[in-house]
Amino acid sequence: ADRPLDGKKEQWCTRNQIRFHAECKSTEKQSKIRKMMGLTEKTVFCIIATVFYFAFAECGNVYKIGVGIADITGPAAEINMMGYAQLTQRTAGIHLRQFSRAFVVDDGVSRILFISIDAGMTSQLIYLEVTKALKEKYGGLYTEKNVCITSTHTHSGPGGFLQYALYIVTSQGFIRQSYQSILDGILKSVEMAHKNIQPGYIFWNEGDLYNTSINRSPTSYLNNPREERANYATNVDTNMFLLKFTDLNRKPIGMINWFAVHCTSMNNTNYLISSDNKGYASILFEQKMNGKSFLGKGPFVAAFAQANEGDVSPNTKGPRCIDTGLPCDANTSTCNGQNEKCIAFGPGKDMFESTKIIGLRQYEKALELFESATNPISGPIGYAHQYVDMSSQTVKINATTNATTCKPAMGYSFGAGTTDGPGGFDFKQGSDDVDVEALFGTKSDSLFWNLVRDLITTPSEEMKNCQKPKPILLPTGEMKFPYAWQPFIVPTQILRIGQLAIVAVPAEFTTMSGRRTRNAVQKILDKCSKTQNKVVIAGLSNTYSSYVATYEEYQVQRYEGASTIYGQHTLQAYIQEYEKLAQSLCTGNTLPDGPVPDSMLDKQISLQPGVIFDSAYFGKTFGDVTKDAKDRYSPGSTVSVSFVSGHPRNYLMLEETFMTVEKFDSANGNWTVIATDADWETKFQWRRTNMVLGHSEATANWEIPEDAQPGRYRIRHFGYSKSIFQKVSPYKGSSKTFVVKKL
């Protein structure tokens, strides 16, 4: 029924016999029935197998499925956000919490674990530590080979959790709390998924989602061959592919979809932790399926996973010059030669509305596909994995010519940033017209740029020749102090769920790079299988190694090409590797592990100071209100209450909240929580008011929904303070009661 791979029928039958056999013998009741009817075990198996065979035509295989979710929100104050590399963009509260969403799928013989996290990218360090912890707890059930950790690529989460120097230098090094919150949350979500495993079905669906993304480097895309571009209607991938997980009664238990769009609706002026547009889409889906459960607490889990979003922006109004309103220069993304004035916006009036609109569009499309998903997933679970040193791969160009990849390096256009978030210096995309020595040769007020200036080295002639035509800004592959700046060794992986192949890529693939990779994998799988295979790209998976542009896009040297760190043949090297992985899935032959990357946890350095102490205002205590609510509000208005606060980094409140909105229930005299700091309509803000005295304030905001029930409400704040003697103590505070009523 699931059309096993050619030559693998016997293996498939064995796999299903094991599962059916277990089902037949699962209860004492079934055993008694067999005795009463005088049936042999073999006969019972044949009957059940026949029933399952015909059921497969509609439902597909029965799999063991588990889903889980856990909070991974990091430090909500004074930590540099990961994504835009803006030194001044430091966390100062929470709009949307970050979560890890885990999915286990098992066919009775093999098992895979797919994890999607609301983070900027997947850290090699976290990937190594997660799989290490899973091996210690579950033996060989979960390993590097069958575990995939992919990231949504929000640019509004606290940084400092990666192990390579380039990616943590703006956060002033390693931030233990950022790292630990993600690590612990992933493990908790996996534990939940593992405990919740149950038999069920998987269905797939796909469709096109328009008006949600644009290509932010269209001139690079146009450099791809005309005949190749003619195969596609748009210069971005509009396809959304979805998996629907149900129990045996067809009750939904989970969903994953893959759609390519950057999580940069929240721009680099934002200071509130946010899971951005994909996080909001997950919230909407889980709220619909889980009813009144609090966010992150319901049984249904919905992951809006990332795909090949390298050159894909959610800012659909496109880039404009903020001083004139005119379009930016198409080739350099500048306005009168200045990159910082060229910024993409939209589709909303501000970044919050834009996040909401792009998230809502993804949610609505996913819900449409989910509700009409009837295509059954059937076939075996499989996986192929190999570590690869991407700095020294031989690439076959044609029958007579080979080329090699390079040690990692970042080009000039990396310094320019993108139209989603321009860089802080006078770089231009697609240009090498900059005096690097002048740029880095003088003292700056920035600790970051002083550090870069002191550590930067001149690229070797070998690197220059290998990376051509890239003008090298940072020769990261030759920068060794205090440790490696970018990865040499990366994990490559394909997970198989029936007829679906999930290609886990360790970077941000551009639209055309993703298409070429998908097509190459599909071609291999189609040769060895009669199944109608489906292939998706899972971007930013298992580690982070910047971007992968096509050979043609690389020649233009916009941001994505400048950030393709292993040179112009990077994509072809990856395609060769994923073809090898696909062939491994076809033959069943296990590939060598390859060179395993080092964990550099013990080498990490942090220049970010911790919390020294907190103190309350004179005559006040922690939790006291400094600005109270009004007496009366109407739906659509906003309540803001400020409190004497401790530092949010004293205790991260994982699986808890810094604020609640509560409604008084006159029937029983109790207060009921109706919203927390994870909800869209709330914003928790924090600010220092006196650094020397350790004073700070927290402001809890609630935008009252239009459908809010009339009644009496209050807002509460929870936190922890640290004394001068380093004792950390909990506190809480409450606003006065206020009335919500339509005027």
Residues involved in catalysis: 313
d(CA 68, CA 101): 6
Burial class (CB in 10 A: 0-12, 13-18, 19+), 237: buried
| Residue 739 host element (H or E) | strand 738-740
Distances (CA, A) of 186 to 114, 306, 704: 11, 17, 32
Residues near 294 by beta carbon (within 8 Å), at least 6 away in sequence: 673, 676, 678
153 is in an annotated binding site: yes
Of 126, 385, 590, whose CA–CA distance to 134 is shortest? 126
* Dist CA 545 CA 573 (whole Å): 14
**717 in a known ligand binding site:** no
The answer to whether the Cα torsion of 459, 464, 467, 468 is positive or negative is positive
CA–CA gap between residue 161 and residue 719 (Å, rounded): 24
Map 539-591 to HEC letters: CCECCCCCEECCHHHHHHCCHHHHCECCCCCHHHHHHHHHHHHHHHHHHCCCC
662 is in an annotated binding site: no
The answer to whether 731 touches 646, Cβ cutoff 8 Å, is yes
Q: What is the DSSP string of 421-490?
A: EE-SSS--TT-----HHHHHSS--S-HHHHHHHHH--PPPHHHHHHHTTPPEEE-GGG--SSS-SS-SEE
Please state, in angstroms and rounded to a whole number, the distance separating the CA atoms of residues 456 and 444: 15
- CB-neighbour burial class of residue 622 (10 A; exposed 0-12, middle 13-18, buried 19+): buried
Q: Say if residue 23 carries a ligand binding annotation.
A: no
User: Which residues, listed in sequence order, are joined to residue 731 by a DSSP beta bridge?
Assistant: 719
User: Angle at Cα 553 formed by Cα 549 and Cα 557, nearest 5°?
Assistant: 95
How many Å apart are CA 69 and CA 564, to the nearest integer? Answer: 33
Classify the phi-psi angles of 114: left when phi > 0, otherwise alpha if psi is within -120 to 50, otherwise beta. beta
**Residue 242: HSE in the Cβ half-sphere, 13 Å Cα cutoff:** 26
For residue 687, how many C-alpha atoms fall within 13 Å in the half-sphere facing its CB?
6
Residue found under tokens 């009004």: 630
CB 743 within 8 A of CB 693: no
Rg over CA atoms, the chain: 27
Summarize the chain as % helix, strand, coil (round to 5): 30, 30, 45
**8 A C-beta contact, residue 77 and residue 648:** yes
736's torsion region: left (phi>0), alpha (psi -120 to 50) or beta?
Answer: beta
- Give helix then strand counts, H and E, for the chain: 17, 38
Beta-bridge mates of residue 198: 65
Are 96 and 60 in contact, with CB atoms under 8 Å apart? Answer: no
Peptide bond into 347 cis (omega under 30): yes
DSSP label of 212: S
Q: Is the dihedral of CA 467, 471, 476, 481 positive or negative?
A: positive
Each residue of 304-333: b (16+ CB within 10 Å) or e? bbbbbbbbbbbbbebbbbeeeeeebbeebb
Closest CA to 567 of 662, 467, 500, 440: 467
Binding residues: 153, 262, 508, 547
Binding residues for Zn(2+): 153, 262, 508, 547
